[in-house]
Structure 1
């Protein structure tokens, strides 16, 4: 076969997002405070845009309820820092100058990272929601784990500690063995750790000091600077007829107007002025439409969530049902990724407190009698209630919690109880027993 230059015509199809579509997706991800800042920036750049003077609005915080845990301080008690962990990660990823495909995967993972720095949702679930392969999500996760703070993107405590030790170049074989057997450190069995790690007792003590100097929640520092209050995006209430009512909040929702009179005055001066005004008008009209679409989308998703979880708004956490983003997406004929963007960072205020929309999504735990399953969030709250009410003389083991939950009709395995306990930051029964006796020590 002869080699030489030749011309070929090929036909192919590909999907590309326009800059307008990319910015529309970006607006969906912003919370009410961030959207106000974005609009203010656009108004400063575009002479045709004006901020409408908001009408005075009387707002009285809805009362909290004992049915909540961390959300019982009222609607305006959720505080965000100047830069969120997600924003911090996204900025670092963009600075890496990654190929476009790798960057998109890493940004997807960054959006799924919990505020304390962990990726708690299974990789397979994230991959399924975005209709991509699990190995692609793992690839994106590895890129996120290269970011600061060290330990971010871990899926459990062991991986978090390992990532921080790798960052310090201290993850040698002995330290790896210690991390793999960290429960022995929690139980105070340093002699067995020394044997497994093949080091002396003094070395184990030094290694444990290094472990204690690590940060088990690398993302927590992003919530320490209380500068911006996260206002609710929607309000949910129960009317006199017992029906759930959903209203979008206008408290922090910016309203912009297009000044067409000014545009007419300027556009008649020169060709250059007309071209500039035409571009400004296009951007201004796009922003107005995007803000309206964003508000409609938030209301649509929130209304469907409230409809599905109406028992929660009537009875509190005991009425919470298992729910996935896919379920909501199917019911409102919307893409699952759009529901995910709406759920992250948007808050709902009701009689039980202020909740992020994604709080209402949780997996299902089976029922003993084969009936409707239980929400994982409900089960976690029930576990926390049991542990908080335990006596120092009768600390509940994971097996005992399993028995108590099964008595309530919840079909749960011991490993699931242990996983939920670790996710909530609750130590094991042996550690809690020592803590209640006044001798708790890691």
Structure 2
């Protein structure tokens, strides 16, 4: 066959990911904390962006009422008719509609970039300037009330303070510091003492001697190498470590299995004594170091607020406190453009203006998309909000995507790290998506979350003489219209940390 050159015309579809589209996709999946950090970074980087303290637009609220057919209906007279899914339109118009037929999740293209930056340290109070006030008697702007808050004492610091009071030999202090720094967050010492002695160039006896001293420190139970040793140290500190208790700790696995008959034989005690010993064990702290140096508790701020209206409808609105508000300073751009000295400076200012405009537009579209998805979730889960978890409907991403005309990957990004505040608590948007469990006799399917709730209710209502086995639970659920297998019941029970029927029977009889 002869080789020749020829000219052909082919028509094909391809998705072009512009930087602006990548930015919009990235902003969708950020949590409110990550979004604030990202916007703060952009404010520092872009001179044309500035913060705005304006109130949220009126279109950030949607009311859901009951329709003529009894189902929920959206009444959003204030919503902007142009408020479509801008990112979806970019995908469809810029890539000739390929987004509507994509099966891959574009989120996998981008690496995880949390973008969380720590805030600045509180300003330290210095000298008399701290209390210098204005002529009107008020305090100065440098006055920082947070400077008076005492810092948390870490476990390491607390142990080092005790170590300096008890130990005087410099070699022993060096060994003690090595052991203190080897503790895990719960106060346990998982360290090979022989390797530590070789590393420090000392005798094993010195390591063990220093460890024995450290095990007397507060909080009681630290430097233990096992759970039994941790409980033993606390019992010794309380002067409650006797031969019977020693036998119990040596056979603590029997206590975990609630095999009280075997424990009575091993410890040589009767029912009353064993009950008192178990009560003492339960009063101990199995993680003595967990109360020190922990991360501060972060308040969960919802992105969407759902309220009950007086007429029985649901009002869905965005939480304006979580929405960063930025503006593009066009006046500053017009003024500074006139002073540009060369083409490079003009190009830089043009890029800044384009980036700023796209950021503002992306933030606005992100808010509208979250509101649209949350509104549809409330529409679908109206029964849960009204009557409780037993009425939680099976729901998947495809149902929401088809209802509001978006791609499933967009719904997945919107529901990640976003929270909704309802009268029943604060839930992640992904909580409302639950797999379906078939119903008997052709009825509506049940949500997996509602089935787990029924299981817990049945088990909590048990009596010591009537413990429900997995087979019995299956039969009860089938009588209530839930077609479920025994292995599924066992899987749900184990996921909820509920022991087997044998262990539950032992626990409830022991509580009599």
TM range (shorter): 0.5 to 0.7
Cα distance, 1:237 vs structure 2? 1.7
Post-superposition offset of 1:52 = 1.3
Q: Which residue of 1 aligns with 2:50?
A: 50
1:368-421 CA-partner distances (Å, limit 9, x unpaired): 232211111111111122223323333322111112212222221112212222
Moved more, 323-332 or 267-276: 267-276
Secondary structure class of the residue paired with 1:276: helix
The 5 Å alignment of 1:8-407 reads 13-53=13-53, 225-269=295-339, 270-271=341-342, 272-407=344-479
- Structure 2: gaps spanning 5 or more residues: 57-103, 114-255, 260-293
Distance 2:109 2:5 in 1: 40
Rounded to whole Å, the distance in 2 between the matches of 1:433 and 1:22 is 56
Q: Secondary structure at the match of 2:482?
A: coil
- Count of equivalent residues: 285
Deviation, 1:425, is 3.0
Note the C-alpha offset of 1:106.
6.5
Shift of the 235–28 alpha-carbon distance from structure 1 to 2, 3 Å rule, reads same
Instruction: Name the CA shift for 1:392/1:370 in 2 (closer, same or farther; >3 Å).
Output: same
Give the structure 2 partner of residue 86 of structure 1.
Answer: none
Distance in 2, Cα, partners of 1:338 & 1:423: 29
Cα distance per residue 1:332-386 (max 9 Å; x no partner): 1110111111112110101000001111111222222322111111111111222
| Cα distance per residue 1:224-252 (max 9 Å; x no partner) | 73453331111112212211211111022
Residue 434 of structure 1 and its aligned partner are, at CA, apart by: 4.0
Contact kept? 1:266, 1:274, Cα under 8 Å: no
- Across the aligned residues of Structure 1 and Structure 2, the Cα RMSD in angstroms comes to 3.4
Residue 423 of structure 1 pairs with residue 495 of structure 2: yes
Helix, strand or coil for the counterpart of 1:36? helix
Greater C-alpha radius of gyration: 2
1:139 is matched with none
TM-score (structure 1 length as normaliser): 0.58
Flag as ranges the 4+ runs of structure 1 deviating above 6 A. 4-10, 102-111, 186-189
Cα deviations by residue, 1:199-247 (Å, 9 ceiling, x for unpaired): xxxxxxxxxxxxxxxxxxxxxxxxx734533311111122122112111
**CA distance in 1 between partners of 2:48 and 2:485 (Å):** 61
CA distance in structure 2 between the partners assigned to 1:327 and 1:342 by the alignment: 14
Residue 323 of structure 1, CA deviation: 1.2
Counterpart contact for 2:258–2:503, Cα < 8 Å? no
- State the Cα distance separating 1:301 from its structure 2 match: 0.5
Contact 2:258 2:507 in 1 (8 A): no
Residues 32, 230 of structure 1: 8 Å contact kept? no
**If the length of structure 2 is used for normalisation, what is the TM-score?**
0.50
